[in-house]
Amino acid sequence: MPDRAAPDLRTQDVLSRSIRPATALLARTPAASRQNLDRPNASLSTGSEKASQTAPAIQPTPGTYTLPGASIEEFDRLNKDYDTQQGYLPRNSEANAGIALKIEDGLQQEMTGYPPQVIQFQQRQIHLQGMLAELPDSERQFYGGVIATLAAAYQLETGNDRRYAIDQKLTSLENAVREEANRVRNDPVDRVLSQFNPPMGAAWLNKEDRESVDRLDKLRDDFFDAEDAGEREEIFQEASDLKGKLQERISTEVGKRQRVKSAQWKEANTEVDRILNEAQAQTDPAKRYELIGRQLFQINPGQDELKDKVVLAFTQRMHDSSALRDQLDTWHDQVSRPLNIHSVGAAKRYTDILKDLPAVSGDYVRDLSDRYTAVLQDTSYKNYSITPAARAEKLAGQVLEGIDRVLLGLTPLAPLADLLPSTLPANVRMGLDYGSAFLGILGGEGAGLAKEIGLAGKAVSAAARDAEATNMAGKGGSVSSKDLVQPAGLGLAKASQAEPTLSLEARAAEKALAEQTLAEAGPAVDPTSQLAHQGVGSSPYGSLETYADPDVSIKDLRLADKPGIRLDAKGDRYIELRGKAYHVRYDKDYESWRVFKKGIDLKPQYSVHLNDSTGHWELSTDVPAAGGQPKIDDKVRNEVIRLVREGELTSRKIAAKLGISQPAVTRIAQEERMTFSAPDSLRRLPLTPATRQEILDLLREGRESRRQIAARFDVDVGSVSKIARDNGIRPSAAYGRPVSPEIRQQAINLLKKGELPCNQIGKQLGISTPTVLNIARKEGISLSAAASLRGMKITPETRQQIVGLLKDRAPVKEVVAKANVSERAVRKIAAQNGIRPSLPRGVTPDQIDQVFALKDQGKSTREVADSVKLSIQKVQDVFANYNANTYKRSWWNTTPENRTAAIRQLDEGKAPKDIAKGLNLPLETVRGIANQHRIARDSLASELLAEGKPADEVARSLGMSSSYTKRLAQRVPEGSHDIRFTSEDRNAAMDMFEKGYTREDVAAKLGISPWKSHSLANEFLKKTMDSVTPQQLDDIVRALEIRDYNFTTGDLARATHLPESTITVIEQEYAGGFFVARSRPPQPVSSAGLSPTPVDHYEWVPPLSPDDEIHAIRAIDEGHSLKDVADQINQPYAAIARLHEEDLPLVASAGDVAGAGPADLPQRATTAFSEDDMNEIRNLAKGSGLSASFIANWFNASVEDIQKILNAPS
């Protein structure tokens, strides 16, 4: 196959479909960051070739050379061992291509009712985004900026001529990206580095998995910091294994979303059928024609998702069905003919809407709905005119959002809220400038959308550059995407206003600058790639000789006023290398020169600089200082140094945290001669003997990789590797490697026998259960009902082992590994036996003290986690469950009188320690009151104040002192009650909750109050639970109650036909105790069947309504117990207890390792049941109350078949 590349085979053309590399510009000394343009140690001369040959070579400083001992052969071997499948296919690229193709194939459904040309353009864009995943970061960012501007213009521009021109430019971009993807796939070094890139479509992952994506960035840093080839191999092995798991999860998530959307579109199309059937049944032509428009009419489009989809589905039906178009035109003629006879204007045609579809923007559905409304009314469309400033901000926001969608692998309509950037890298800005230059020329001198989008791209680029400069100067610039959109919109408004007043000379100069940008702009050769190639003694991107201009002679060039620069008669700039002329351009962003290939735009460009001491040109791999920007502030610089020294964050994370560019972070690290796994970082502090011994024990067990062990103890992998070397322990041969053909065949044989469940097969062969399931799926092996059901059982011996380990305070993950069960099963057994998890491993008493102290200061969980260097989950666990004095688990509790007294004294400003002493209470009890109930109450008060209610009124409604609410009001921004919360914001919040984000996360990301986030969380819970029928809820809770079986989330989803996201919400609510049982009479069964048993019906306890929450908080403040409060407002006790919940994800974390989704698992046998099968089914049903439909769905059998088994004599 010509488009597949083995490690030793170089191909000519590859069309890969992937997305989202990471950024990890590594901190190296300047001496190690110079490289020859053709050979590692030669220089570029400003004189003759002879001078070049005699010039001294730039040698790397001893001890600073990148990737010690590395070679091309090592990188080839890494690719062959860890990134090759079926003997020759690159696994990483194939997985990314599969994800991209899956997203691309679902785009037609997602964009139902949108213009066909736009859908086709977006499909090409997804394909192009897929190829970007293979590229180094600088190229991905540049091309992403170009694509974003072209896509925005194509969506908004409705003229065919300009759309054609944009389409042609996209074709040239595809060619450039394809060429680079081919090069990367055939370059062993860049192929290895691409393994550390985030996978295609990373934005589809939930929050927990995105944290794993961030680990890839850290692994890249560690790969460059590794001491030898052995450590690099283990790091690459870990990255390859992690990347594969993430890619499987993404593919599963994409499939889930498409299945959910498919059901929604099915409902919408059913509505379209109903509308057409009703119209068909109508005998009055006028009423029939009017009925369609009336049914599609919306007062406020964009607020009801189903109604929006009905309008889009109807539009798509008109486009696809010529019979429907003919029918609608016939109905139109029947209405219009009598009107024409009486010289009355005819009605408008529905089919004419297809000829004039609105521009594709965030208002597309609204504008499309108005076209249907206009068919009924002989009036113009609604007036949606907005101010020029508001329109400019809207366009700037669309360009910025487009960048995110390109770089994150998202489709045009997928929710986007949690990954918007506050700054843009320089390469993205250059891509925006290039796209804007093209659109500016395309738009010509007159006003138009292409011209306007071009100005918008330039405005976003300029705003991002200014924001970075402000942050570098320590003046607190942009911290969120909204802060970036506002100045960009202002810049666009000014540029649009000035455009008509430009003189002819100014327009000519502007056009000349745009033409120069198109001729000379291109992505920078990636510094990380250059460093890696330098480390193996190879030249990146091949020889620069192809960049030389053969039609230009050095003798025809004259010296310019810039040292080393030569000019031709037209003013084009060159440098000389061995007697040949190379085109160069000046990069104003970083005050450096770049070699580019004249006549072939969009090719990567080499950054070069003139060595003042030797007079020779040299290739730059270090990061130059940004030109035209203020000197970085000392405070900002010191913060960068501190974060690098701590060794916890990658350069990308540090840059995002401080709102500056990643190259600036890397440059500071270079100047300080620091790496991102600094030897003096917290992760490299000396280990205690006890910790060292625990690490050694885990190494000898061989169940976990060194990187997993390092992550468990919060130490660097080098320390773990050193312990292994000191004790003669070699890396585990099985971990992360592809399954050998022998093991695979044994698994197939055992699966075909059907005697063992998958988990037992995995345990016997030393592979994971998901691996066994994947083998079964790929081989098309159906698992028998008995084997599948027995696989869910946890034997009494295993249960006893789990309980014993938990009582010995073993971490959950350790129990999972030793008992070979899922994490969810361990947590379920712990809850059933009343065992609380032990103190998180690696948390010291000092850290517990810091957690409580910082929480006392009002710090958020994320801020505490950053300061104490613990995960957010560990901080939540410590704060929620531990006694600050004894360091043991304890839940705060006290009398209502003490609670009321504590709240009042806290309001007065007294310290928790003083209150605890005065009331004779444990300190953590006062802290619990202060940081749970009181913060909830204050958040509610702040929300009411933000809505514009007076402080006195808020004080009266909540029973607080007016002086306290007035102090709260001072912290509420003036006029914040006027901020609109749009339907897009709501959809983004719901999507974030579904992906496992907490209320605190949603509040921070969307810039809303904690109480607004809290109310949205309640809305999410109610919406999710309302989608579950009483029978489904009963079956799920009963299944969770069964002690002998361990149903997974996928099992429950398959058995109830509910999405897995809904099941995880129910599981989370079940764990929180928010279901109550209501007894009902025994259900009769056949005399031959099971005996009747009393069955409970389960009801969900929903969150309190806003009014009830206000009453409950006030009653608790007044000293009433939670039970009394529940009685007062006639609500269950559990609903009152929700007010004291920790801020945890509403969706349960994935305790089971991701494998295939429910729809992708091998299908169980459904036609014949063995005696073992029937016994297992009877045992499952006996006394559990599970419905026959639940069991039938789970086994892919008919209800009748299951009912026969249950009714038959046993």
Q: Is residue 914 part of a domain?
A: no
**Token pair for residue 221?**
């840093």
Q: Is the pLDDT of residue 1146 over 50?
A: yes
Residue closest to 460 by CA, chosen among 416, 428, 500: 428
> What is the three-class DSSP state of 777?
helix
DSSP result, 858-873: T--HHHHHHHHT--HH
Residue 417 confidence (pLDDT) = 55
B/e letters for 617-650, b = 16+ CB within 10 Å, e = fewer, are: bbbbbbbeebeebeebeeebbebbbebbbbbbbb
**440, 514 Cβ separation under 8 angstroms:** yes
Residue closest to 186 by CA, chosen among 35, 20, 72: 72
CA distance linking residue 147 with residue 150, whole number of Å: 5
More confident site: 535 or 36 = 535
B/e letters for 663-694, b = 16+ CB within 10 Å, e = fewer, are: bbbbbbbbbeebbbbbeebebeeebeeebbeb
Q: How confident is the model at residue 573 (pLDDT cuts 50, 70, 90)?
A: very high
Q: Which of 162-176, 196-210, 868-882, 1015-1029 has the lowest mean pLDDT?
A: 868-882
Q: Are residues 516 and 535 in the same domain?
A: no
More confident site: 271 or 399 = 271
Residues 6+ apart with CB under 8 A from 89: 4, 6
Q: How confident is the model at residue 525 (pLDDT cuts 50, 70, 90)?
A: confident
Q: How confident is the model at residue 740 (pLDDT cuts 50, 70, 90)?
A: low
Place of tokens 């998180």: 840
CA distance linking residue 678 with residue 693, whole number of Å: 24
- Give pLDDT tens digits for 248-258: 888 888 888 88
- Give pLDDT tens digits for 178-227: 988 888 888 999 999 999 998 988 888 887 788 788 888 888 888 887 87
Q: What is the mean pLDDT of residues 579-604?
A: 83
Q: Is the pLDDT of residue 482 over 70?
A: no
Q: Spell out the SS3 assignment of 288-347.
A: HHHHHHHHHCCCCCCCCHHHHHHHHHHHHHHHHCHHHHHHHHHHHHHHHHHHHHCCCCCC
Q: Is the pLDDT of residue 54 over 70?
A: no
Residues 6+ apart with CB under 8 A from 379: none
More confident site: 1108 or 823 = 1108
Residue 10 confidence (pLDDT) = 36
Q: Are residues 611 and 541 in the same domain?
A: yes
CA distance linking residue 291 with residue 39, whole number of Å: 76
Q: Are residues 706 and 567 in the same domain?
A: no
Mean of per-residue pLDDT scores for the chain = 75
**385, 376 Cβ separation under 8 angstroms:** no
Q: Are residues 161 and 134 in the same domain?
A: yes
Residue closest to 760 by CA, chosen among 800, 791, 784, 783: 791
CA distance linking residue 553 with residue 506, whole number of Å: 34
Q: Is the pLDDT of residue 148 over 60?
A: yes
Among 367-381, 617-631, 662-676, the range with the most confident prediction by mean pLDDT is: 662-676
Q: Supply the Cα-derived Rg of the chain in whole angstroms.
A: 33
Q: Are residues 112 and 184 in the same domain?
A: yes
Burial class (CB in 10 A: 0-12, 13-18, 19+), 277: exposed
Q: Is residue 880 part of a domain?
A: no
Q: Is the pLDDT of residue 503 over 80?
A: no
Q: Is residue 135 part of a domain?
A: yes
**Residue 985 amino acid letter:** D
Q: What is the mean pLDDT of residues 631-637?
A: 80
CA distance linking residue 158 with residue 162, whole number of Å: 8
Residue 790 confidence (pLDDT) = 60
Residue 1092 confidence (pLDDT) = 42
B/e letters for 233-245, b = 16+ CB within 10 Å, e = fewer, are: bbbbbbbbbbbbb
Q: Is the pLDDT of residue 134 over 60?
A: yes
Count of structural domains, the chain = 5
Q: Say if strands 84-85 and 606-610 run parallel, antiparallel, or are unpaired.
A: unpaired
Residue 1145 pairs with which residues in a beta bridge? none
**651, 415 Cβ separation under 8 angstroms:** no
- Give pLDDT tens digits for 449-470: 777 888 777 878 777 777 777 7
Q: What is the mean pLDDT of residues 709-727?
A: 73
Residue closest to 659 by CA, chosen among 430, 477, 484, 481: 477
Q: Is residue 935 part of a domain?
A: no
More confident site: 1177 or 359 = 359
Residue 659 confidence (pLDDT) = 77
- Give pLDDT tens digits for 362-386: 788 888 988 888 887 643 344 444 5
Q: Is the pLDDT of residue 943 over 60?
A: yes
Query: In degrees, to the nearest 5, what angle opens at C-alpha 74 toward C-alphas 69 and 78?
Result: 135
Q: Are residues 506 and 528 in the same domain?
A: no
Q: Is the pLDDT of residue 516 over 90?
A: no
Burial class (CB in 10 A: 0-12, 13-18, 19+), 178: middle
Residue 266 confidence (pLDDT) = 92
DSSP result, 433-461: HHHHHHHHHHH-SS--HHHHHHHHHHHHH
**1152, 1049 Cβ separation under 8 angstroms:** yes
Q: Are residues 296 and 438 in the same domain?
A: no
Q: Is the pLDDT of residue 316 over 90?
A: yes
Q: Are residues 226 and 296 in the same domain?
A: no
Q: Is the pLDDT of residue 854 over 70?
A: yes
CA distance readout (Å), 543 to 37, 540, 1105: 7, 8, 69
Q: What is the mean pLDDT of residues 506-519?
A: 79
Residue 841 confidence (pLDDT) = 56
Residue 321 confidence (pLDDT) = 92
CA distance readout (Å), 750 to 451, 631, 741, 783, 1204: 65, 67, 14, 11, 30
pTM above 0.75, yes or no: no
Q: How confident is the model at residue 127 (pLDDT cuts 50, 70, 90)?
A: confident
Q: Is the pLDDT of residue 1088 over 80?
A: no
Residue 761 confidence (pLDDT) = 80
Decide which of 495, 520, 545 is a domain's last residue.
Answer: 520
Q: Are residues 564 and 614 in the same domain?
A: yes
> What is the three-class DSSP state of 610?
strand
Decide which of 782, 810, 838 is a domain's last residue.
Answer: 810
Q: At what angle do helices 137-156 and 449-472 cross, to 10 degrees?
A: 140
Q: Is residue 983 part of a domain?
A: no
Decide which of 376, 398, 420 is a domain's last residue.
Answer: 376
Q: Are residues 575 and 541 in the same domain?
A: yes
Q: How confident is the model at residue 997 (pLDDT cuts 50, 70, 90)?
A: confident
Residue 84 pairs with which residues in a beta bridge? 90
Q: Is residue 169 part of a domain?
A: yes
**655, 665 Cβ separation under 8 angstroms:** yes
Q: Is the pLDDT of residue 319 over 90?
A: yes
Residue 22 confidence (pLDDT) = 34
Q: Are residues 462 and 588 in the same domain?
A: no
Residue 287 confidence (pLDDT) = 86
Place of tokens 């600050």: 884
Place of tokens 């600094």: 678
**576, 55 Cβ separation under 8 angstroms:** no
Residue 313 confidence (pLDDT) = 95
Residues 6+ apart with CB under 8 A from 1189: 1031, 1199
CA distance linking residue 480 with residue 458, whole number of Å: 19
Q: Is the pLDDT of residue 323 over 90?
A: yes
- Give pLDDT tens digits for 809-822: 676 767 776 776 76
**Residue 1193 amino acid letter:** N
CA distance linking residue 1057 with residue 1048, whole number of Å: 14
CA distance linking residue 52 with residue 38, whole number of Å: 12
Q: What is the mean pLDDT of residues 608-631?
A: 66
Q: Are residues 136 and 218 in the same domain?
A: yes
Q: Is the pLDDT of residue 387 over 80?
A: no
Residues 6+ apart with CB under 8 A from 967: none
Query: In degrees, to the nearest 5, what angle opens at C-alpha 560 toward C-alphas 554 and 564?
Result: 70
Residue 576 pairs with which residues in a beta bridge? 581
Q: Is the pLDDT of residue 978 over 90?
A: no
Q: How confident is the model at residue 1094 (pLDDT cuts 50, 70, 90)?
A: very low
Q: How confident is the model at residue 318 (pLDDT cuts 50, 70, 90)?
A: very high
Q: Is the pLDDT of residue 273 over 90?
A: yes
DSSP result, 531-570: HHHHHTT--TTS-GGGGB-TT--GGG-EE-SSTT-EE-TT
Q: Say if strands 616-620 and 606-610 run parallel, antiparallel, or are unpaired.
A: antiparallel
Q: Is residue 444 part of a domain?
A: yes
Residue closest to 869 by CA, chosen among 885, 854, 884: 854
Q: What percent of the chain has pLDDT over 70?
A: 75
Residue 202 confidence (pLDDT) = 86
Residue 590 confidence (pLDDT) = 66
DSSP 1157: -
CA distance readout (Å), 1088 to 186, 1084, 1095, 1180, 1181: 69, 11, 19, 17, 15
**Token pair for residue 1032?**
């489904």
Q: Which of 189-193, 728-732, 838-842, 944-948 has the lowest mean pLDDT?
A: 838-842
Q: At what angle do helices 322-341 and 305-320 cross, to 10 degrees?
A: 90
More confident site: 979 or 1123 = 1123
State the residue range of the domain holding 43: 30-65+524-620
Q: Is residue 820 part of a domain?
A: no
Q: Which of 326-335, 1005-1014, 1098-1107 has the lowest mean pLDDT?
A: 1005-1014
Q: Is the pLDDT of residue 332 over 70?
A: yes
Residue 24 confidence (pLDDT) = 37
